[in-house]
């Protein structure tokens, strides 16, 4: 667990360095622990090491770790693909749903939030690399959906999230990060009702300094905090 403490400290130092290089205040950028495949005890260690929030990909893991107190007092975000038939396990249970990737899901979240009488904070996920393997709005689709947010009064659009293509060379994703930042600025400038656009969630283990230099306000880091994930085992 000491390793997790050291890893978080090292990431914080790199975040601060990237922020300074971009002339930004490091306090503007939050660190979200992408905690998939890590058990409650390890997630709790990251929380105690000072991450700002935790992000879960899978409904099943969220449902298991919440009652185990994995997240302490920190906000929990949902960051994975969400099926409409599982929104009831997520809406109202997390502070932010980062992965709203289609209108059908937005409508399902609205319906559940209305039923519970609350406002669910959300981000739109944008498929910025136009990859067939990934879900997400196109940039034009995100703009259009943002323009209709007044029709979803039980949701509040706080910004955008993206997972760019796996880059072949260092810095390879900088163009996608720049496009995402521009899209955030463009949507914000429209001043649509029920849209604030303060959050730009982008940057992971391999590319978060580039994302910060491009204007990210939240990085989602898994491997650099917890170590490599071992797919095929259950730990």
Ligand X SMILES: *Cc1c(COP(=O)(O)O)cnc(C)c1O
Q: Are 32 and 201 in contact (CB under 8 A)?
A: yes
Q: Which stretch binds ligand X (CB under 6 A): 12-20, 84-92, 113-121, 198-206?
A: 198-206
Q: Is 212 in the site for ligand X (CB under 6 A)?
A: no
Burial class (CB within 10 angstroms; exposed 0-12, middle 13-18, buried 19+) of 113: buried
Q: Which stretch binds ligand X (CB under 6 A): 70-78, 103-111, 182-190, 202-210?
A: 202-210
Calculate ∠ Cα 163-165-170, nearest 5°.
105
Q: Between 40-48 and 2-21, two packed helices, what is the crossing angle to 10 degrees?
A: 50
The residue (of 24 and 81) whose beta carbon lies closer to ligand X is 81
Residue choice 57, 112, 120, 217 for contact with ligand X (CB under 6 A): 57
Q: Is 58 in the site for ligand X (CB under 6 A)?
A: no
Q: Which stretch binds ligand X (CB under 6 A): 15-23, 87-95, 190-198, 218-226?
A: 218-226
Q: Is 42 in the site for ligand X (CB under 6 A)?
A: no
Q: How far apart are CA 66 and CA 140, in angstroms?
A: 35
Residue choice 51, 79, 105, 146 for contact with ligand X (CB under 6 A): 79
DSSP reduced 3-state for 224: helix
Calculate ∠ Cα 12-14-17, nearest 5°.
110
Q: Which residues bind ligand X (CB under 6 A)?
A: 34, 36, 57, 79-80, 163, 204-206, 220-224
């Amino acid at each position: 667990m000491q390793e997790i403490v050291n890893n978080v400290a090292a990431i914080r130092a790199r975040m601060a360095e990237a922020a300074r290089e971009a002339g930004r205040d490091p306090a503007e950028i939050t660190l979200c622990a992408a905690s998939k495949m890590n058990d409650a005890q390890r997630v709790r260690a990251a929380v105690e090491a000072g991450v700002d929030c935790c992000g879960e990909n899978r409904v099943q893991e969220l449902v298991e770790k919440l009652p185990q107190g994995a997240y302490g007092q920190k906000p929990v975000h949902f960051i994975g693909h969400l099926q409409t038939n599982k929104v009831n396990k997520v809406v109202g249970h997390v502070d932010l749903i980062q992965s709203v990737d289609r209108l059908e899901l937005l409508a399902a979240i609205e319906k559940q939030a209305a039923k519970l009488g609350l406002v669910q904070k959300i981000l739109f996920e944008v498929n910025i690399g136009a990859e067939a393997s990934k879900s997400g709005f196109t940039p034009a689709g995100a703009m259009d959906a943002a323009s209709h947010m007044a029709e979803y009064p039980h949701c509040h659009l706080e910004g955008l999230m993206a997972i760019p293509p796996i880059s072949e060379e260092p810095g390879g994703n900088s163009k996608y990060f720049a496009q995402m930042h521009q899209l955030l600025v463009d949507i914000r400038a429209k001043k649509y009702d029920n849209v604030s656009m303060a959050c730009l969630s982008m940057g992971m283990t391999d590319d978060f300094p580039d994302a910060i230099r491009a204007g990210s306000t939240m990085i989602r880091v898994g491997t650099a905090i917890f170590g490599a994930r071992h797919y095929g085992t259950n730990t």
